[in-house]
Structure formats: C-alpha cells, structure tokens
Amino acid sequence: MSEIAIIHVIDDDEAVRESLAFLLATAGHQVHEHASARAFVEAGLPASDPTVSCIITDVRMPDMTGIELLQHLKEKGSGVPVIVVTGHGDVPLAVEAMKLGAADFLEKPFDDVAILDTVKAALARMRKVYQHDAMREEVNERIAGLSQRERQVLECLVAGQANKMIAYDLGISPRTVEVYRANVMTKMKAQSLSELVRMALLAGITPGAA
C-alpha cells in the first residue's frame, strides 16, 4: 500500500481548486484536479486499487452535485474517504453528506491548517481500515491451513472451553487436545491464548460456533 496519498480535488471553481491543490501538494500529497464530479466519475475514478487516497469535493456543482457524487460512490461500494466542502448556510447539506458516508465536512472559508488536519485524519482512518482488512485476510489464510480437528479445537477455545471439556465434546483425550492446541497456536502464529482468540474473532469465529 503506497504511503504517498493521492488527493482528488473536485471543484468547478478553478481558482479554489488550484489553490487547494497547491496547498495539498506543498504538504507532500499527490494531487489530481477535477473540474466536475461528472468528469471524475466518467474517468472511472476512484480506482479500485489499495492506494491511499481521499476525495475533497465541493457540495454545490452543476450537472452532478457533491451529494450525487456521494450517492454514486456509495452504490459502487467505494471505501475512499470523502471530505465535503460547503458554503455558508449549507449545514443541512453537510449533514445529508455525512449520512451518505462522507468522512467529514468543512465550511467555507476554512484555513489551511483545518483542511490539512481533516485530510490527515481521513487518511489515518483509511489506513487503519486497510490494515484491519489485510490482517483479517491473513488470519483467514492461517485458519484455512488448519485441519478439521484443529479447527474444531480452535472453535472450542474461542467458546472458552477448558481442555478437559474439549476432550469430552470431541471424544478424544486431554493429552490429544493439548497436541492439537499446540498445533493451532503454531499454525496461527499466536503467542498467547488471548491473541489466538482475537484472531479468531477477527475472522468471524464467534463463541458457540463449535
């Protein structure tokens, strides 16, 4: 996942768009400018790759508004954070944008620090979500490598069962349970039972699944 963020700035006001793009570029971001939400959508953006990115869009634009853009992105299942820029008196629109999944909104006029802090926060949240998803995928791969019996032991452990209870339920000896348990810990790369349980819960294995 690239650490250089791509910020898409969408605004039909060229002066505002260029000013914002310059500010973001000086802060180290890669900036792509779009004169309208329609042009942004027709360009096939945002891309589906895992590049860190963020969208800053004005809410009032001809042809396709910021609200309509948010609706489009929601329908496409996009996870890219969107920061909506609103004019004075557009708070109802800003609230509507938040309901549609906007990461944040800024009221004009806003200062440089405000927009940079808002972008930083949105990107941080996106990175956290991406890392969470990547970890879940990795955990699922580890679980897929377990044998059927090891998976059963894992589910029993997540349910909070002791070795003797697991042995009784599965019809095996407590010693055999210890062997399977050790194998599960190794294959899952868990350093402790609590870490193993966190991994299982992340993968959707819930207590009572056994």
Mean pLDDT of 79-86: 90
CATH number at residue 193: 1.10.10.10
Domain count, the chain: 2
Residues 123 and 75 in one domain: yes
Instruction: Give the single-character DSSP code of 45.
Output: P
Nearest in space to 181 (alpha carbons), one of 150, 207, 145? 150
- The answer to whether position 151 is within a domain reads yes
Residues 171 and 128 in one domain: no
- The Cα 3–Cα 8 span in angstroms is 16
Residues 105 and 156 in one domain: no
Neighbours of 131 (CB within 10 A): 11
- Angle (nearest 5°) at CA 133 between 130 and 139: 140
pLDDT of residue 90: 74
- The answer to whether position 80 is within a domain reads yes
| pLDDT tens digits along 188-210 | 999 988 889 889 988 888 765 44
- The answer to whether position 153 is within a domain reads yes
Residues 76 and 160 in one domain: no
Is the pLDDT at 1 greater than 50, yes or no?
no
Q: Where are the alpha helices (DSSP H) in 27-146?
A: 37-42, 66-76, 91-99, 112-144
The pLDDT confidence band at residue 47, using thresholds 50, 70 and 90, is low
The percent of residues above 90 in pLDDT, for the chain, comes to 56
Nearest in space to 201 (alpha carbons), one of 132, 145, 147? 132
Residues 11 and 89 in one domain: yes
pLDDT of residue 209: 44
- Full-prediction pTM beyond 0.75? no
Is the pLDDT at 75 greater than 60, yes or no?
yes
Is the pLDDT at 108 greater than 70, yes or no?
yes
For residue 14, give Cα distances in angstroms to 18, 20, 162. Answer: 6, 10, 66
| pLDDT tens digits along 134-189 | 888 999 999 999 999 999 999 999 888 999 999 999 999 999 999 999 999 999 99
CATH number at residue 90: 3.40.50.2300
Residues 60 and 82 in one domain: yes
- The answer to whether position 176 is within a domain reads yes
Annotate 62-86 with b (16+ C-beta within 10 A) or e (fewer): eebbbbbbbbbbeeeebebbbbbbb
